[in-house]
């Protein structure tokens, strides 16, 4: 495989190669139900203890799956809409975990940002909420 091919593959899925928290798929269809997965690697030499995901307003989350070894707490707004999820557990150094959820996509095309806060032992916090190309980018999904 050429260096150019590798670079193109890495660019196609930003963050996965660098260990950022990433929601897949990166593209989906407007108005459709979609199963998403939040992929969280532990890049540090201490355990990850919590992972918080704020759901974009354009997405209507209908279900969040339990994950073995993790306790799930959902955040809801006053109408009962799921606006966030927090998983509490222990992710060892250099390991990764995937959290799945199902949502109905926005009816119109949009690009949504998935803001994730990863907290490690010792209250070390990494916020995956930045702009594309930043050191801590939020994962994004394009809805067509």
Query: Burial, 107: exposed, middle or buried (Cβ in 10 Å; 0-12, 13-18, 19+)?
Result: exposed
Query: Burial, 28: exposed, middle or buried (Cβ in 10 Å; 0-12, 13-18, 19+)?
Result: buried
Q: Are 56 and 113 in contact (CB under 8 A)?
A: yes
Q: For the chain, list residues with pLDDT below 50.
A: 1-18
Q: What are 104-126's pLDDT values in tens digits? A: 999 999 999 999 999 999 999 99
Query: What pTM did the predictor assign?
Result: 0.87
Structural domains in the chain, sorted by start: 3-143 (2.60.40.2230)
């Amino acid at each position: 495989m050429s260096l150019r091919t590798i670079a193109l593959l890495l660019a196609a899925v930003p963050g996965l190669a660098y260990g950022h928290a990433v929601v897949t798929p990166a593209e989906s269809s407007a108005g459709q139900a979609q199963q998403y997965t939040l992929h969280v690697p532990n890049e540090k030499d201490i355990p990850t203890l919590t992972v918080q995901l704020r759901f974009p307003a354009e997405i209507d989350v209908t279900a969040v799956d339990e994950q073995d070894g993790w306790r799930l707490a959902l955040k809801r707004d006053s109408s009962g809409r799921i606006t966030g999820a927090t998983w509490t557990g222990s992710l060892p150094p250099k390991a990764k975990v995937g959290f799945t959820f199902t949502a109905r996509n926005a009816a119109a095309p949009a690009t949504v940002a998935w803001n994730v806060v990863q907290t490690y032992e010792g209250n070390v916090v990494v916020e995956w909420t930045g702009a594309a190309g930043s050191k801590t980018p939020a994962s994004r999904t394009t809805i067509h």
